[in-house]
Structure 1
Amino acid sequence: MSRMIIDSENFDLDKTLESGQIFGWKKIGNRWIGEIKQNVVAIEQKRKELIVEVIWENQKNKLNQDDIRYYFSLDVDIEYIYSKINTDKTMENAIKEFDGLRIIRQEEWPCLVGFIVSTFSNIPRIEKNIEEIKRRHGTRIEINDKRIGINEFYLFPTIEQIRKSEVSTLRKCGLGFRDKYVHNTAKKIDYRKIREIRKMRYEDAKKELMKLDGVGEKVADCVLLFAFEKYEAFPIDVWIEKAMNNIYREEIRKYFDSLNEYKTKRKKRKDKDKFSYSEIAEFARHKWNGYAGYAQQFLYEYVRKNKINKK
């Protein structure tokens, strides 16, 4: 077992892993147990340091400190990002309350499956579904360390493992109508295609992802933000839609009134202040420039934890 101590100033492990951007991590005591590059790790934060223990090492893909820094975006200038998204009192409060939250650079395939599974679901159910997918299709790892609190861990299944499975076994994971989406996606994508998508511009990458079964605008934007480093992506769920309409409605209206091509379209609408997914996302990219995704994550946590939309 290897052990690493990594500086984690301006980073909050709990806030980051509890923010709904990633699935499959479990907290036992003070440690978070999860998977990075098919290595099983136990991570604990003490003040400004991460204590990382690799409790099962992938001999073909060993972890080092740079891998951990990259995964948790510790190499990102978070203060600079704060300066770009701190545009109003709401964002100021969100940044203050969730200071240390960062966007994880997830592996693309697990992230894609996770957000396909998330459609019309909730976080506890998603976590249960992901755990079942891992147990039924992933590789079992025996853990011989009583301190950690587990005796086994299942790695997230590869594309090939899901592709070779049957829809019926995915159905046993409790995915409902999503089982076919996951299975069909495994048939349509491979790691070469993932590398190609990573190189694309945001707009093109989004179109490519939306060709996959079960991938609509929101799922595509989540995957692009959390796995492909497209920080201009702005995923819009129920919480974000309500927040944008409640907090930024007037600002959105003024923005689109300034664009001639939208004036005629808005006049024909019954509800002139009802904005589409693409319009809200366009405004967000205008307001928060290249870091709309970071603004989304702070806004999502702030309105969800404080139930702002219910006031």
Structure 2
Amino acid sequence: MKYSFIKNGIEVNDKSEFNPKHILECGQVFRYQSERLGYKIWTKNSVCYLICKKGHDIISTNNREEFVHFFDLDRNYSEIKERLSEYPFMQNAIEHGYGIRILNQDPFEMVLSFILSSNNNIPRIKGIIERLCERSGGTTDCGFQFPSPDQLKNKSISFFQDLGAGYRAKYLYNTVDAINNGFSLDIQGMTTMDARKHLMRLTGVGRKVADCVLLFGYHKTDVFPTDTWIDKIFVELFGENNFTREQKADYLSDYYGELSGYAQQYLFYKRRSGNKIKIDCISED
């Protein structure tokens, strides 16, 4: 990945491996907004302006190392795409979402965000999260931070209901309470299976939410988060709709192995963009 440090930011020089639209619209991140020249993006404690230019992009920030990590800039996605291209029906999806990168995000933010994602749509999720930050997060020169567990310690269920969380308000309340009372999110060293089981002890965290947290909060790429979009892809590719969602997730993660998370993002982005996955490249071998 070609990038260089410049004054007050990072210059990214490889459009084939870094496309802001692809990165931000593949379902992995909620705290961003479109700006005249690009995007404004928040992490847990920082903000950057992503300025889109012809031939290159500028990540404008005073925290360069943090955003190198956040955008996963030191990982070779060309190699990942080359390996994935050997799988049937992946080439077309990769060509469509060629600039996707899996972000390294805060686990606590991912837990709350993906609890909110259940039976919800992205604009509504973004709105609830923004209200959560405005009403309980710290402030910076560039907006509100995502709140810490401690900042949410004394919030009631009605607080979360007033954000528009609906039935998920109780899930958020119970999850925050559990974390403030010793439930650990320090699970990077666990196996994926053990980490998933651990997360699923939280109220409102099922298989799909846990896998999203593992992928986007811990970069465990051997998971394949499976939602309604992946359900559609599964039926279109395999002509099979008798599997449970968990069975589909198991099958796909076994099939793609350590590349599962990357495959999921390319396929999800392609299908969510309104394009069916082409299957004319499936081998007969």
TM-score, normalization by structure 1: 0.80
1:46–1:218 Cα change, 3 Å: same
1:83–1:52 Cα change, 3 Å: closer
1:49-106 residue CA offsets vs partner (Å, 9 max, x unmatched): 442333xx7xxxxx23x32121111111111211222245531111011111111111
- Look up the equivalent residue of 1:6 and give its one-letter code: E
Q: 1:11 and 2:43 equivalent?
A: no
Within the candidate set 165, 172, 175, 1:182 is matched to 172
Structure exhibiting the larger radius of gyration computed from Cα positions? 1
- State the match for 1:28 in structure 2: 35
Distance in 2 (alpha carbons) for counterparts of 1:97 and 1:236: 20
1:184-237 residue CA offsets vs partner (Å, 9 max, x unmatched): 111112598222x12111000000000001100100011101111110111110
Worse-superposed segment, 33-42 or 237-246: 33-42
Unaligned runs of 5+ in 1: 58-62, 144-152, 251-272
- Look up the equivalent residue of 1:293 and give its one-letter code: G
Worse-superposed segment, 241-250 or 102-111: 241-250
- Look up the equivalent residue of 1:193 and give its one-letter code: S
Unaligned runs of 5+ in 2: 1-6, 278-285
Aligned residue pairs total 268
- Kindly state the Cα deviation for residue 8 of structure 1 after the two structures are TM-superposed: 4.3
Residue correspondence of structure 1 range 188-267 to structure 2 within 5 A: 188-189=178-179, 193-195=184-186, 197-249=187-239
Worse-superposed segment, 74-83 or 290-299: 74-83
Distance in 2 (alpha carbons) for counterparts of 1:120 and 1:238: 10
Residues 8 and 74, structure 1, Cα contact 8 Å, conserved in 2:
no
- State the match for 1:276 in structure 2: 244
Distance in 1 (alpha carbons) for counterparts of 2:193 and 2:55: 37
Residue correspondence of structure 1 range 96-111 to structure 2 within 5 A: 96-111=95-110
- Kindly state the Cα deviation for residue 246 of structure 1 after the two structures are TM-superposed: 1.8
- Name the SS for the 2:155 alignment partner: coil
Q: 1:133 and 2:123 equivalent?
A: no
Distance in 2 (alpha carbons) for counterparts of 1:40 and 1:212: 29
- Kindly state the Cα deviation for residue 7 of structure 1 after the two structures are TM-superposed: 2.7
- Look up the equivalent residue of 2:105 and give its one-letter code: Q
Distance in 1 (alpha carbons) for counterparts of 2:183 and 2:206: 22
Residues 108 and 223, structure 1, Cα contact 8 Å, conserved in 2:
yes
- Look up the equivalent residue of 2:48 and give its one-letter code: V
Distance in 1 (alpha carbons) for counterparts of 2:121 and 2:69: 28
Worse-superposed segment, 33-42 or 95-104: 33-42
1:84-141 residue CA offsets vs partner (Å, 9 max, x unmatched): 2224553111101111111111111111111001111101111111111111111233
Distance in 2 (alpha carbons) for counterparts of 1:192 and 1:13: 35
Distance in 2 (alpha carbons) for counterparts of 1:293 and 1:30: 30
Distance in 1 (alpha carbons) for counterparts of 2:145 and 2:160: 16
- State the match for 1:167 in structure 2: 157
- Name the SS for the 1:6 alignment partner: strand
Worse-superposed segment, 227-236 or 163-172: 163-172
| Identity value in percent | 31
Distance in 2 (alpha carbons) for counterparts of 1:192 and 1:280: 29
- Kindly state the Cα deviation for residue 292 of structure 1 after the two structures are TM-superposed: 0.7
Distance in 2 (alpha carbons) for counterparts of 1:217 and 1:48: 40
- Look up the equivalent residue of 1:169 and give its one-letter code: F
- State the match for 1:294 in structure 2: 262
Distance in 1 (alpha carbons) for counterparts of 2:55 and 2:150: 39
- Flag the structure with higher helix content: 1
- Name the SS for the 1:129 alignment partner: helix
- Kindly state the Cα deviation for residue 171 of structure 1 after the two structures are TM-superposed: 1.1
